[in-house]
Structure 1
Amino acid sequence: MSVNGFEDILNDPFAQYLQLSAKIGGDVAQQADFVKKAFKAQLEFIKLASTSSQPAQAQLATLLKPTSDQISAIQEYREKHRTSPFFNHLSAISESIPALGWVCVAPTPGPHVKEMNDAGQFYTNRVLKEWKEKNATHVEWARSWVSTLTELQKYIKQHHTTGLVWSGISAPPSGPAGGAPPPPPPPVLPPVGDLSLGAGGEDDGRSALFAQINQGEDITKSLKRVTADMQTHKNPGLRTGPAPFKAPTASVKPVAKPVESKPPVFTRDGKKWLIEYQKNNTGLVVEGAEMNNVVYVFRCENSTITVKGKINSIFLDSCKKCSVVFDSLVSSIEFVNCQSVQMQVLGHVPTISIDKTDGCQMYLSEESKKVEIVSSKSSEMNVLLPKGTAGDYTEHPIPEQFKTTISGNGLSTICVESLG
């Protein structure tokens, strides 16, 4: 039944995802090939569990390697195609594919899949927003992938509620059979140790405790009388003791991982402007860009980018202490994994997207006051609105805290204003 249930997922929502990926083509179809291999590997692993007893940890890692390799390939493909027009599609899969690691999670494999599904929905929502008016195929693609992981969670709840079930019929082979299994999941806290009281267990310990309490007044008979020579206020010599412990002053500092250093890049590749690994450069200017062009800024630090003219969009990824000044955008400006960044729009920008970013200052123009700002997992975000004609701004923080209460059969969430 466990194997049949997983095959039902492959034959329905997952098959639809593969079909739509092939229809979209390009990078989406290529990544889907890795996803197909990963799910096939998990099916083989589940088949193995249905006929075998649980192997040792070292052997388990070997059996999981085929799926683990495919998950790594999926995530690497996304990293190597950051300038792809389907980057949101690639990211949706890359962020949620670790859900296949549920086979190593106990006792809550179902919630692990949901957590991974939620992580990917930030990008599937972007796909829905970008393509709902352009091409319904992309909308159905996003829904089919979310449905696949949702059905996987239901399958786990039905067949493997507290962890992958091994049949115990026979020992598993030393290597992967047929073609595969899943990846090691994110680190899982070790199980809490046995808290029973000695060999007698919890019941014996509890009985002994109540036996002591039930002595009543006789419980004081075992107490030792304190004489005058034992009292510190009558015998000052008892007040002296060993010197308090002092922690050693020397401390071991962790060895910092060397920062990856690559040569700076400022180039145009067709419709894409690539600005990468720039440091302490305040003179980066994009000129002559066209309305369908995209500016992609990656891992720059202490730099300023000026974009002249109206282009499609700007994307800042993993940048630190960078500023971008631009005229107008057709689509949006996005900040992902950034720290202490600023932007100023001189004309019009319809959307600002902020994800996993700490510190983002947004200077808006009069023309951009109807902008839509979407933020997720970010902090220290401030919008500065123009005030008068003297170049002054008023600062407005974007809420980071929320209060949720139960309202009827649902939830009601409101922003919590900071009083500090």
Structure 2
Amino acid sequence: MSVNGYQDILQGPLRSYLELSKQIGGDVATHANLVNEAFQAQYKYIQLAASRSKPSQSEEMQLLAPTSDKISAIQQFREKNRASTFFNHLSAISESIPALGWVAISPTPAPYVKEMNDAGQFYTNRVLKDWKEKDKTHVEWCRTWVQLLSDLQAFVKQYHTTGLVWSGKGGAPAPPPPPAGGLPPPPPMLPEVDFGNLSVDDRSALFAEINQGEAITSSLRKVTSDMQTHKNPQLRQGPAPFKAATKSAPVKALPTPGAGNIPDKPPVFTRDGKKWIIEFQKGNPNLVVENTDMNNMVYMFRCRDSALTVRGKVNGVILDSCTKCAVVFDNLVSGIEFVNCQSVQMQVLGKVPTISIDKTDGCQIYLSPESLDVEVVSSKSSEMNVLVPKGDGDYTEHPIPEQYKTVINKPPTGLTTTPVESKG
């Protein structure tokens, strides 16, 4: 009955979504083909669960791989088409397609599907706003996609209330879900200026002074000719305007980029829901994150002289304000990001799609043979090197350009910028 129930989803709301996507065409139609492949992969997985007992964890991960790969392809298609006219359409699907990860969630898979459905509605609302007056097809497209995931939630609640049911052993704890999409954690918010301490009277006086116009300078004292030192040399013979202090005042050190000095705070190594938090570690080369899920994010903040190993497949890794740190990982769904770091290294043993480097001085990137198609995005950074394996255990080092040359196009229609490659 579970298989028949899933067939109803494929033949009902999924088919309607595919037909509407085909009508819209372009990137939406191409994206929809990937979505269809993901649902078909899950259908085969459900058929398998209905015909056998629960496999071992390692075998189960292999069986989940086709669905997981399709979800990754859907999300990567969105990332590669950010300039698309239908970017909001692509984002609505990419943010909510991890709902197919319910097969690996227990004991509450149905609420997980709803959570993913809600995550995509931010972008479906954008589509509605942009297209409701232009083309009703897009409105119906949004409604059909939301309904598809709602029907999936009802299906899970009816047939797999506490987790995917295998015909031999019933609903047992399942492996990690496929990667959950979504943006990396937002940066810390800037401190707000407290205007509450400024009373109404103070503000009134301030605006009154500003509104004086030219009269605002009337209270300034005029410098007469007898006060001017270039006309009265004797004025220069007086005491120096600034007298040196008898005791030198302490000089405040300039702030250093990157992590600087680690605050005197206790080190943190904890898991908070889908996020691993590693903070204020100092001189610790044995940091290990394991037993991970594919929707996990690993966040390393203000650590120094430490090394992190991430085992398994996770969604992404972020190093923020770290100095002289290294990270080694197996596979990432979205990518790794370095922000405000100094002298950091990374090594990928499996696959990583993107590497982002921002405001970082010194970054060594060791790639694996499977990651040679990686995309590296850098800004406001220096001393960056990509090390490509040669096959004999050695690496070839390639510096990332830090200087650029810009010329004006002829006829002057814009600018052309090219990197200045290192000759050293």
Q: TM-score range by the shorter chain?
A: 0.3 to 0.5
